[in-house]
Amino acid sequence: MTTTLITGATMGLGEETARRLAAVGHEVWIGARDAGRGRAVAARIGARVVPLDVLDDASVAAAADLVEAAGGLDVLVNNAGIEPRLAGNAIPTPADETAADVLRTFATNVLGVVRVTHAFWSLLHRSAAPVIVNVSSGLASLTGLSDPYSPTHFYPGLGYPASKAGVNALTVQYAKAFPAARVNAVEPGFTATALNGFAGTQTVAEGAETIVRLAQLGPDGPTGTFVSRDGVLPW
């Protein structure tokens, strides 16, 4: 059986990904900062819960120990993330965001991915078909951000696009360092979740499609790519 850990899996895309993978036979670990909420989700979809706060070294190390003791890991979905918003769900502009604001976003979206991947690296190495899926964003594409004909061109914020571009860079580097694994970044699309104040235009079922597909890649699947439902995206 394939064992999968999903960070930030108590709501939105994380919960939907967990539900879908459990339904196809994965043994799913719900990575949950709120253990009570994690237990509720796990009970609902037939999964396990592991307390995990991507901002905390001790929490992530303890989670890795628990998953290792239970038998190991095949798939890691780095889903936990934040997007800064102002009052009224407004997106901050460069004039609004300070270095401290950007650092807060990077701490979760970039350093969280590093912290979790580093802690679970040895477990994934033991898998016959290791997979890492990093949940990114279309806003990570520098091509899109700089193209006046792209919808992402008009997003004003600093920290969120920069952090997701960082996730893409991590994806490339991990794919090169871990050639036995399939390591890819996913643009789920503009999905209505708590992350964006439910402003998205897609359902979580639609947003989770590509995450779920890449979480099931075999050893002959692509690696080091940035993809959406419509195919490979430009960096």
- 164 is an active site residue: yes
Distance from C-alpha of 224 to C-alpha of 182, rounded to nearest angstrom: 7
What residues pair up with 107 in beta bridges, in sequence order? none
CB-based contacts of 229, cutoff 8 Å, min separation 6: 189, 206, 209, 210
Give the CA angle between residues 191, 197, 200 to the nearest 5°: 25
- Residues 149, 155, 164, 176: which is the catalytic one? 164
Residue whose token pair is 């979740």: 193
Q: Catalytic site residue 176?
A: no
Options 149, 155, 160, 176, the catalytic residue: 160
How far from 188 is each of 39, 93, 98, 122, 229, CA to CA, in Å?
25, 23, 27, 28, 7
> Which amino acid does the sequence have at 170?
L
| Secondary structure element (H or E) that encloses residue 31, with its range | strand 27-32
By annotation, the residues acting in catalysis are 160, 164
